Amino acid sequence: MFIIGSYTLAVIFCIITMICWGSWANTQKLASQKWPFQLFYWDYVIGILLFSLLMAFTMGSTGDEGRGFVSDISQANGESLLSAFMGGVIFNFANILLVIAINIAGLAVAFPVGIGLALVIGVLVNYIATPSGNPYLLFLGVILVVIAIIIDALIYRRIPSNDKNKSIMKGLLFSILAGISMGFFYRFVAASMSLDFTNPAQGKLTPYTAVVIFSAGVLLSNFLWNSISMYYPFSGKKATYREYFSIGTPRLHLVGILGGLIWCLGMLFNILAGEKASYAVSYGLGQGATMVSAAWGVFVWKEFREAKGKKTVNILTASMFVLFMAGLGLIILAKI
């Protein structure tokens, strides 16, 4: 199977993760006018599973190093399989909560609180489990990224909103729950894998197998989490399974599947990088996706153009990206 051979390549893979995790939501934005999120989300999770299988039978089954997908899943013990599966269940729960929070309170509350909390918890949990690198540089970098996320929130708060029915407190609660859950899912996936990808431990999983089992957890748990969101929505209108087939067009389905492919590519590259970069560093870099998402909003979707105080917004935007890049640099240096 393909294995990362250097820290430099691991960092590049983490940067690709940031791009993927910060970009997949564009597919939701493209489909949102005709396709409720809950229905889009079904195609999204199908895309995650399909891509994980594709990678398992290609990159995960070629080469002389490691253990091929079929032989790896055949020797896996129940504890490792359950750990990766639970990672998918927890991630899916967190991801749906985050989207609900965004629908209720907007990005200004949901994304900074949810992803900021996930970033801090995820780095802390993964560093405690497998300490590696300079903790001072690592956590200083995390702090700078969190400050950048807070600045992002301040900019969003300057955008006028005509929606007077949003409940900040309700959205804040969903954001906190999403952030806590998102901060723990990665540890379950990491715990399922061998620390040595070249000579995997007996019973443990390779990254490719772990992502397949994780994806299965995402898809199967969707029958619970997304069904609740569809029929008992906390925001927006009720959606039904009948609408998935009656409203959906091939283009809409493909857009959702593409979103899943993009996110899963980021997930696979992130855990492949974990062996050389440490899971704390790789997860911390990956969750910098918040700034990638902000860049899409600023430069492509022009989400800040209606924000009040153009000069102040420009200063805040520049500060946000400078702090993000500085934090990113410190996280990278923490392992060198």
* pLDDT tens profile 210-224: 999 999 999 999 999
Q: Packing angle between helix 78-105 and helix 168-191, nearest 10 degrees?
A: 160
**E-assigned strands of 182-281?**
none
Q: Is residue 153 part of a domain?
A: no
pTM metric for this prediction? 0.91
Q: Using an 8 Å Cβ cutoff, are 65 and 169 in contact?
A: no
Q: What is the mean pLDDT of the chain?
A: 89
User: For the chain, how long is the longest CA-to-CA vector?
Assistant: 60
Q: Is residue 91 part of a domain?
A: yes
Query: Tokens 């918040």 sit at which residue?
Result: 290
Q: Is residue 143 part of a domain?
A: no
Report the number of distinct structural domains present in the chain: 1
Q: Is residue 335 part of a domain?
A: no
Q: Is residue 151 part of a domain?
A: no
- pLDDT tens-place string over residues 23-81: 888 888 788 778 888 999 999 999 999 999 999 999 999 988 999 999 999 999 999 99
CB proximity list for 170: less than 8 A, separation 6 or greater: 104, 105, 234
User: Across residues 169-190, what is the average pLDDT?
Assistant: 89
Q: Is residue 149 part of a domain?
A: no
Q: Packing angle between helix 279-286 and helix 168-191, nearest 10 degrees?
A: 140
Reply yes or no on whether the pLDDT at 165 is more than 80.
no
User: SS3 of 24, please?
Assistant: coil
- pLDDT tens-place string over residues 136-149: 999 999 999 889 88
Rounded CA separation 222/163 (Å): 29
Q: Is residue 186 part of a domain?
A: yes
User: Which has the closest alpha carbon to 46: 244, 254, 265?
Assistant: 254
The residue range of the domain holding 275 is 7-131+165-287
User: Which has the closest alpha carbon to 153: 275, 28, 46, 297?
Assistant: 297
Q: Is residue 273 part of a domain?
A: yes
* Token output for 2: 């393909």
Rounded CA separation 267/252 (Å): 23
